[in-house]
Amino acid sequence: MGVFIAEVQPRWSDMDSYGHVNHANTVTLLEEARVALLFTEGARHGAEGMARGVVVAKLSVDYLMPIIADGNPVRVSVSVSDMRHAAFTLDYRVHSGPLEEMAAVTAQTLMVPYDTASGRPRRLTEGERDFLAAYRSGSNGA
């Protein structure tokens, strides 16, 4: 499979006074792409446990150029750069133009599978690991 591409529609309310998508609202675009990958695609490929519990433990965002909410969707590419037994890292590249153009935003989230019933982190299941491995971009992790 490789990289997952999500088309996410910025809302007019996402814009700041300069006509750019506000930095905090950009994080919401990342979330929408992450949900599409982990919950929707995950359920289609036997990793439905992701929808029952996974949390962001760390977020890093680099804003490289403005994203303009012009009525068109942005494309968010998502890949897995690191995978451990109880955590994984997602890499994002947000493009407001063609994917070949420079990304407007790059980001990473450290994700931790979470058991909502016990209120504690959990290990990835074998099915979840197999699903994430299909989107692996690096060679780190166990």
CATH of the domain at 16: 3.10.129.10
pLDDT at 141: 39
pLDDT at 133: 96
Cα–Cα dist 84/70, whole Å: 39
| Token pair recorded at residue 41 | 């695609």
Q: Are 85 and 142 in contact (CB under 8 A)?
A: yes
Of the listed ranges 40-44, 66-70, 103-107, the one predicted with least confidence = 66-70
Full domain range(s) for residue 106:
4-141
pLDDT for 99 beyond 80 = no
Cα–Cα dist 9/12, whole Å: 10
Total domains, the chain: 1
pLDDT at 113: 96
State the residue for tokens 């990793």.
47
What is the pTM assigned to this prediction?
A: 0.90
Q: Are 28 and 84 in contact (CB under 8 A)?
A: no
State the residue for tokens 């450290």.
110
Residues 6 or more apart whose CB falls under 8 angstroms from that of 58 comprise: 108, 109, 110
pLDDT for 140 beyond 50 = no
| Token pair recorded at residue 9 | 């529609």
pLDDT digits (tens, 9 = 90+) for 14-55: 888 888 898 999 999 999 999 999 999 999 998 988 888 999
